[in-house]
Amino acid sequence: MHLFFFLKQRNPGISFRMTIAAAQGVFFNAFFFGYMISPSLCHRFVGYLEEEAVHTYTVLLDCLDKGKLEKWAETKAPREAAEYYNLPEGSMMRDLIVAVRADEICHREVNHHFADLPAYAEVDHLHVHINDKNRVVIEKIDPDERR
């Protein structure tokens, strides 16, 4: 989702948008077939991808704090992004980036967690949570609850 929020800041032309759509189409199909072959490898790959995103957003926040991105320092978060991340009225781009980074931390943890599970482990996805220490927790499930 955050891709669209950042795209809106730049409002790229049709060729850029088509390139992104084509890249996503290629990736989706490659990932789909890759997932059928090795789900854990795919989760590990996404976990590292998300880890890199967390690093990138951390560097971005550092640049903002050091005054290297003057325009973004004065830019309010787009309304749709603020609503999506439940940010308070008047939130700035920095607030949005912090929220996006927190989201990416969750994605990283969940993907590394699933990469560690055996491929055909039975997991009730409704009971997977991230705790306040950014660790993945799977609640114990009452077997009667499943019925």
Size of the site for Fe ion (CB under 5 A): 2
Shortest distance (Å) from residue 26 CB to Fe ion: 18
Q: Which of 138, 140, 131 is nearest to 117 (CA)?
A: 138
Q: What 3-state DSSP class applies to 76?
A: strand
Q: Which of 112, 103, 126 is nearest to 41 (CA)?
A: 112
Shortest distance (Å) from residue 2 CB to Fe ion: 8
- Whether 101 and 61 have beta carbons less than 8 Å apart is answered as yes
Which residues, in sequence order, are bridge partners of residue 129? 137
Q: Which of residues 38-97 bind Fe ion (CB under 5 A)?
A: none
Cβ closest to Fe ion, residue 53 vs residue 77: 53
Shortest distance (Å) from residue 104 CB to Fe ion: 5
- Quick note: the x/- pattern for Fe ion over 107-146, rule CB under 5 A, is x---------------------------------------
